[in-house]
Amino acid sequence: MIFDKGNIVKVAVLASGRGSNFEALCNGDTGNGRISLLITDNEKAEVLRKASSAGVESIYMSPGRYRTKFGETEEMAWTRFLMDRGIELVCLAGLMRIIKGPMLEEYSGRIINIHPSLLPSFPGLHAQKQALDYGIRITGCTVHYVDAAVDTGPIILQKAVDVKDDDTVETLSCRILRQEYIAYSEAVKLICSGVLSGSGRNRFHKER
Ligand code: GAR
């Protein structure tokens, strides 16, 4: 998907918890991207308070009866809500659910995610612990397009973080998070500036 240069792009964030990436997106330089909506699958999520402080419309919507995916009807309802609000780009920021159905079809090439490792290393849950357990010396974060599998979509950008000898999951996660905040805004700005092409794994083209 290529967004037209110069046009404002309405962006929604989907999140389940703390919402520090959401907050960073609201405060960051996202270029033509406007953070316009927050949807959560968790009524008690801290991110709801952050949306209210940021003056961004927010809503809890039921994800259905499953633990790690959406019910078909519910995913359709989330998708309709996004469309009704004129959302053009969807950012997953700590959404603890897999998107597979109607949302992926409707927003194909327009859903992105942030993951706390240098993909394709350490996909899935607890990426920082996976990195420490493996004994890797450099890890980081990745912003990527979402496809039908977990953490496999085309990469938009990555930031590297050194692992220190005395790192714990907490200290490493904290340093990676600081890079996530920078990376996510940069990626949204890049996409919304219209310089990425619409398909294939390598979407950077002439203007970079
Ligand atoms: C972030 O570290 C994000 O990269 C991670 O969840 C955290 C959410 O924090 N996402 C994943 O692990 C996705 N596989 P936040 O709610 O403070 O933004």
Structure tokens at 54: 């940021």
Task: Indicate whether 205 pLDDT > 70.
Answer: no
Task: Indicate whether 41 pLDDT > 90.
Answer: yes
Q: Return the pLDDT at 1.
A: 57
CATH architecture of structural domain 9-192: 3-Layer(aba) Sandwich (3.40)
Does ligand 1 lie within 6 Å of residue 116's CB atom? yes
Ligand 1: which residue has its CA nearest to atom 12?
A: 115
- Averaged over 138-165, what is the pLDDT? 97
- Averaged over 31-42, what is the pLDDT? 98
Ligand 1: which residue has its CA nearest to atom 8?
A: 94
Q: For a pLDDT cut of 70, what percent of the chain falls above it? A: 98
- Could you report the per-residue pLDDT of 157-175, keeping only the tens digit for each? 999 999 999 999 999 999 9
Task: Indicate whether 80 pLDDT > 60.
Answer: yes
Q: Where are the domains of the chain?
A: 9-192
Among left, alpha and beta (phi > 0; psi -120 to 50; other), residue 86 is left
144 an active-site residue? no
What own/partner pairs with CB < 8 Å and gap ≥ 24 does 200-206 have? 200/154, 201/154, 201/155, 202/154, 203/145, 203/154, 203/156
Ligand 1 pocket test target in 35, 113, 115, 157 with most atoms within 8 Å of CB: 115
Which neighbouring-strand residues pair with 15?
40
